[in-house]
């Protein structure tokens, strides 16, 4: 088996029994808690795939076709001076995706594509779209969701970081630059995330409670994660009006 330790992985991905990538984030426990739609036999899209965790999970769940999109760097949409290459795993996820796909025997189709550029005349339409921890990194999250809606003829499963109230006072639906020094533009709270999916033209069917993220072996266990201030997320399942 190729030397997976030679790469700085973003995701923890099971490649074989007892063999996993040493990723910064372990999404396996989170995946088990999501309100998955039926993906068996469906055409699916994974937006912001990085190493490919969600693309391979869609295949594992029986998807007939998986398209995985990402851009080489997030610098183009990241707040100034906070590109993905600064102190994070190697910015080019395409190599890691290709290696994991080879080891898994995956047929997922990797395409370099910004979420803003999704186009049904070019990309076709998808039965299920997964968007995991992407919205927070986008300068224009509502424009991105509109582009997703244009190629989605079925369900959108959106998972994103959420802010949690630190007091009994009402919290804003979204905060700009909520976590200084991070890659995010806007961080929604749970109600805000539901509202954003609704405004994009999806009928919200389900939303999870607040979930705890699981840092992988390469991630730092910060005081914010230990206190539960950081590392919180929520998943929203929306249904296109086309079905």
pLDDT score recorded for residue 87: 43
- Helix ranges, the chain (H): 28-31, 53-60, 93-104, 120-123, 141-151, 190-199, 223-226
pLDDT of residue 6: 85
Residue 221 has pLDDT above 50, yes or no: yes
pLDDT at 110 over 60: yes
How far is Cα 155 from Cα 242, in angstroms, rounded to an integer? 10
Please compute the mean of the pLDDT values over residues 188-211 and round it to a whole number.
Answer: 95
Q: What pLDDT, on a 0 to 100 scale, did the predictor assign at position 102?
A: 95
What does the mean pLDDT of the chain come to? Answer: 86
Q: What is the dihedral of CA 56, 62, 64, 68, to 10 degrees?
A: -20
- pLDDT value at residue 89: 46
pLDDT band at 12 (very low <50, low <70, confident <90, very high): very high
Contact predicate 197/144, CB 8 Å? no
- 47, 34 contact by CB (below 8 A): no
The pLDDT tens digits of the residues spanning 56-94 come to 999 999 999 999 999 876 555 765 555 554 444 445 589
Mean pLDDT for the stretch of residues 210-227: 62
Radius of gyration, alpha carbons of the chain: 17
125-171 confidence digits (pLDDT tens): 999 999 999 999 899 999 999 999 999 999 999 999 998 766 556 67
Tell me what pLDDT residue 229 has. 55
What domains are there in the chain, each with its CATH number? Answer: 39-240 (3.40.50.150)
pTM of the entire structure?
0.88
Cβ atoms of 160 and 135 closer than 8 Å: yes
């Amino acid at each position: 088996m190729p030397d997976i330790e030679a790469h700085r992985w973003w995701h923890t991905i099971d490649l074989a029994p007892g063999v996993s990538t040493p990723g910064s984030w372990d999404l396996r426990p989170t995946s088990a808690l999501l309100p998955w739609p039926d993906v068996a036999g469906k055409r699916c899209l994974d937006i912001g795939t990085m190493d490919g965790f969600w693309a391979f999970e869609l295949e594992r769940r029986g998807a007939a076709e998986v398209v995985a999109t990402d851009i080489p760097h997030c610098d183009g949409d990241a707040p100034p001076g906070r590109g993905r290459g600064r102190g994070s795993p190697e910015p080019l996820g395409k190599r890691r995706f290709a290696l994991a796909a080879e080891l898994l025997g995956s047929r997922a189709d990797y395409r370099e594509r910004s979420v803003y550029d999704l186009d049904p005349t070019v990309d076709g339409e998808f039965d299920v779209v997964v968007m995991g921890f992407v919205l927070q990194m986008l300068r224009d999250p509502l424009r991105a969701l509109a582009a997703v809606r244009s190629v989605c003829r079925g369900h959108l499963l959106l998972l994103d970081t959420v802010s949690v109230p630190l007091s009994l006072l009402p919290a804003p639906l979204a905060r700009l630059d909520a976590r200084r020094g991070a890659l995010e533009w806007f961080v929604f709270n749970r109600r805000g995330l539901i509202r954003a999916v609704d405004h994009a033209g999806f009928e919200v069917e389900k939303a999870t409670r607040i979930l705890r993220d699981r840092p992988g072996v390469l991630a730092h266990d910060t005081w914010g994660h230990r206190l539960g201030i950081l590392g919180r997320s929520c998943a929203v399942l929306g249904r296109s009006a086309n079905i």
